Amino acid sequence: MLDGGNARLKDQLGLLRQYFDEAGLEAHWVEPSQDIPIPVVLLPLMKDHRQRDRFLHFSFVPLDEEDLEAIDLLQIYTTVPVEWAEGTREQVEKLLPAINGSLAIGHFNVTGDEVTYRYVYSVPANRELQSTEALSVIRLFEMMLNMFAEAVDDVASGRSSYAQVMSDISG
């Protein structure tokens, strides 16, 4: 990506952080590093049902400007705290597509030993990120996370089975 594009995306991310500040949310700016080569904004969430810390990560997906010149892609990402019990991974992997089919936005995934929830939000490249729109998408993302994260953790930990959670989801 050209330097001008990087600067614009950094400005957009800074604007998002400003919106969080204005909404009374304490977001943190993380400078690019060797591990994460792009700037990230971290937003702490309320602790989960087992009092574990949770954070939303915001970053723009770096692209060549010629690839998708009309849009910027804002990635919203979180690691879902889970306690793995032996032999539950298959049940979680079976559960996630069913949950994903119920989500308004985003998707859950298992990567290594982590369960993640991610959404890539398309933002028009020719205008600033809008506060009301961005905060609405983020609230919806958090609502979807909160609706299903406990069920995923319950299956991963062995406290619930795939069948029990599917019965609950189906209503």
CATH of the domain at 14: 3.30.1460.70
Q: For residue 56, how many other CB atoms are within 10 A of its CB?
A: 20
Separation of alpha carbons 64 and 132, rounded Å:
28
Query: What does the pLDDT read at residue 59?
Result: 97
Helix (H) / strand (E) element for 154: namely helix 131-157
The domain containing residue 138 runs over which residues? 3-170
Query: What does the pLDDT read at residue 113?
Result: 93
* Integer CA distances (angstroms), 148 to 72, 144, 154, 158, in order: 28, 7, 10, 16
Low-confidence ranges of the chain (pLDDT < 70): 1-5, 65, 67
Query: What does the pLDDT read at residue 69?
Result: 82
Query: What does the pLDDT read at residue 21?
Result: 96
Count structural domains, the chain: 1
The model's pLDDT over 110-160, given as tens digits with 9 standing for 90+, comes to 999 999 999 999 999 899 999 999 999 999 999 999 999 999 999 999 999
Separation of alpha carbons 140 and 41, rounded Å:
18
